[in-house]
Amino acid sequence: MNQNSTLSASPRLYYFDWLRGIAFLILLFVHCAEVFVNWNFWIKNEETSDLVSFFTAFFLPWRMPLLFIISGAVVSSSFKRKTVENFLQERFKRLMVPLLFAIFVVIPPQIYFIKKYRGSTESFVEFYQSILQFNWHFSPKGNLHFIHLWYLAYLLVYSLVFLPVLLFMRTDKGKYYLNRVAGIFSRPYIILFLGVLVNLPYYLFTAFQPLPDYPALFLYYFPIFICGGILWSNDTFRGSLSGNAYLALPLACVSTFILYYLSYRSGNPEFYFQNLIRTDNFLLFALKSSNQWFWILTFFGLAKRFLNFNSSSLSFTTSAVYPFYILHQTFIVAFGYYIIKMNSSIFSKLALLTILTFFCMISIHLLLLKRIKWLGMMFGVKPEKKEKPRGVIVTKRASAKQWVVFEE
């Protein structure tokens, strides 16, 4: 370290943490609601609700892209402070370990209740013995799968594929090109319509080769992750978010109104709000992609303006999002299996399912994961660290009996 330099720590972007926490809470609600909407889910209530369907559709275009943009930016930012070896170790601990643990411990009860819902009569012991045969869930006798944890699996692969780009971005040449690209895409007439460009590879590829669900997910979210890793990690680009948010918000509202109008006419909100559902109409593709992007820019810009602060609530939310994500759908399917048999209204069932799922996740996190270190690691919970006092660092020069003060 050059002792004449100033040690400056990069400020933490608290609004990223707030957005990630909010997005995961929305994910919890959406998956609870999908038991009662008029499109497919792992288990379904016999009666569905158009009101719940149309309300839930609003979240479909942007909730997962929001998470992948944040993930890309966080990966890029954290890599600046790590060696390649440390980066790979961190990815393994935070992604691979929880994924493997969940596949063998958390996911099996979910698949068991899905199979019971579809008519299986086998006991859980009989079911779990079949898991040890290591047959993939969608094979005729398979019960092994990551189900909703495809996000962790894909994030791990994306991080590894993105590694050469991260290494290049560390070089002077990489920083130069990154700043140039960020400056170009920060301009309002470009950033507002970047969503069409980001989704274009998926649209073009699937025009020639339709893909099954999980490969389609992989192809669709990869450019979004890269966008987060390159643009959202750049100070210049992030600095433009607040101003562009006020331009994006009215466009988001107008495009959402158009999509709701088309959905109402067809009675199929999933088709118009779910960007993964392919359309041959390029104008409709551009409308859906733009709507997604307008809301993403709006939420990032408003969060940067109003949510860039720390609090005890944020600290708890940041530590809880991973366990919540890993656990939530297993609880939804298990509780939902019994709740859909109740003689109650859809809204009573939805409220009960949401409350029970949230209560169980909170209880497990507080009573087990925060207290048992090894178990917390299985769910991606980082060990709590004592904060180092911020202020000044005083050191002594080797060449002279002189004290030098550096700001931390």
Average pLDDT by consecutive 10-residue portion of the chain (408 residues)? 38 89 94 95 95 96 94 90 90 94 94 92 88 69 84 95 94 92 89 92 85 85 95 89 90 97 94 88 94 96 92 91 95 97 96 97 94 92 62 44 36
Whose tokens are 């370290």? That residue is 1
DSSP letters along 137-178, please?
TTSTT--B--GGGHHHHHHHHHHHHHHHHHHHHHSHHHHHHH
C-alpha–C-alpha distance, residues 373 and 18, integer Å: 25
Q: Is the dihedral of CA 176, 177, 181, 182 positive or negative?
A: negative
C-alpha–C-alpha distance, residues 281 and 259, integer Å: 14
In Å, how far from its chain's centre is CA 264?
29
pLDDT in tens, 317-326: 999 999 999 9
pTM for the full predicted model: 0.88
pLDDT at 213: 79
Whose tokens are 């971005």? That residue is 169
pLDDT at 260: 97
The answer to whether residues 271 and 277 touch, using CB atoms and an 8 Å cutoff, is yes
C-alpha–C-alpha distance, residues 9 and 328, integer Å: 35
pLDDT at 277: 84
The domain locations on the chain are 14-396
Q: Which amino acid is it at 393?
A: I
pLDDT in tens, 355-404: 999 999 999 999 999 999 999 999 988 876 655 544 444 444 444 433 33
C-alpha–C-alpha distance, residues 329 and 260, integer Å: 28
pLDDT at 196: 94
Residues with Cβ within 8 Å of 47's Cβ and at least 6 positions away in sequence, in order, are 36, 346
pLDDT at 140: 54
The answer for 267, left when phi > 0, alpha when psi is -120 to 50, beta otherwise, is left
C-alpha–C-alpha distance, residues 352 and 343, integer Å: 13
Query: Cα Rg for the chain, rounded, in angstroms?
Result: 23
The answer for 168, left when phi > 0, alpha when psi is -120 to 50, beta otherwise, is alpha
Backbone angles phi, psi at 406, to 5 degrees: -115, 140
To the nearest 10°, the Cα dihedral for 96, 70, 230, 247? 160
pLDDT at 226: 95
C-alpha–C-alpha distance, residues 388 and 212, integer Å: 49
Residues with Cβ within 8 Å of 380's Cβ and at least 6 positions away in sequence, in order, are 94, 95, 97, 98, 322, 323, 326
